């Protein structure tokens, strides 16, 4: 194995660990999902390259596989927006945002205040902000007016 590939493998190990931490997962969470031992996950995070089939499986847990392999975050720009129905994508993003709020609310024992924000009280505002951001991302029109529109939305509440 060359020094260059060894360096790349170590970066992948470091990125895997960073991604797991970003997702707030323990090694045991990942191990349970993959039906493996926590020791093996620890090896992947320190010295042993992760097999591609296992990395692909981790995408189901929300791992950004592009980041793990390259250190670069996957973005919407990697998706061809010419094939995307923007209105449908915005609607899907809004629904996903709403579902995320409901899930957090349920997991926190019906406590809707998270980091000082009452997500249930501001549910509509948060969902509308997600719509604005998604439309801007998909059209490539993220400008200061996008931020202003969201700020005005928040002020109105």
Distance CA 120, CA 104 (A): 10
Q: What is the DSSP letter of 2?
A: -
- Give me the residue label for tokens 């031992």: 37
Q: Is the pLDDT of residue 34 over 90?
A: yes
Report how far residue 153's alpha carbon sits from residue 149's, in angstroms, rounded to the nearest whole number: 6
Report the percentage of the chain scoring pLDDT > 70.
Answer: 73
**34 vs 71, residue with greater confidence:** 34
What's the whole-model pTM score? 0.47
Is the CB of residue 106 less than 8 Å from the CB of residue 120? no
CA distance 58 to 56: 5
The pLDDT of residue 2: 38
Could you list the beta-strand ranges (E) of 4-144: 113-114, 117-118
The pLDDT score that the predictor gives to residue 4 is 43
Name 118's bridge partners. 113
More confident residue, 16 or 138: 16
Q: What's residue 68's pLDDT?
A: 86
3-state secondary structure 115-150: CCEECCCCHHHHHHHHHHHHHHHHHCCCCHHHHHHH
Average pLDDT over residues 43-48: 88
Structural Rg of the chain based on CA atoms: 19
């Amino acid at each position: 194995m060359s020094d260059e590939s060894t360096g790349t493998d170590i970066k992948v190990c470091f990125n895997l660990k960073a991604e797991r931490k970003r997702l707030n997962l323990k090694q045991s969470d990942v191990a349970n999902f993959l039906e493996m031992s926590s020791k093996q996950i620890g090896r992947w995070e320190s010295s042993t390259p992760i097999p591609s089939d296992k990395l692909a499986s981790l995408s189901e847990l929300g791992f950004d596989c592009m980041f793990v392999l390259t250190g670069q975050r996957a973005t919407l720009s990697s998706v061809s927006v010419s094939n995307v129905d923007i209105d449908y994508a915005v609607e899907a993003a809004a629904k996903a945002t709403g579902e995320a709020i409901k899930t957090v609310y349920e997991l926190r024992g019906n406590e809707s205040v998270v980091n000082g924000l009452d997500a249930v009280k501001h549910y509509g505002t948060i969902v509308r902000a997600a719509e604005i951001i998604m439309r801007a991302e998909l059209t490539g029109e993220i400008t200061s007016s996008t931020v202003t529109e969201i700020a005005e939305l928040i002020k109105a509440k």
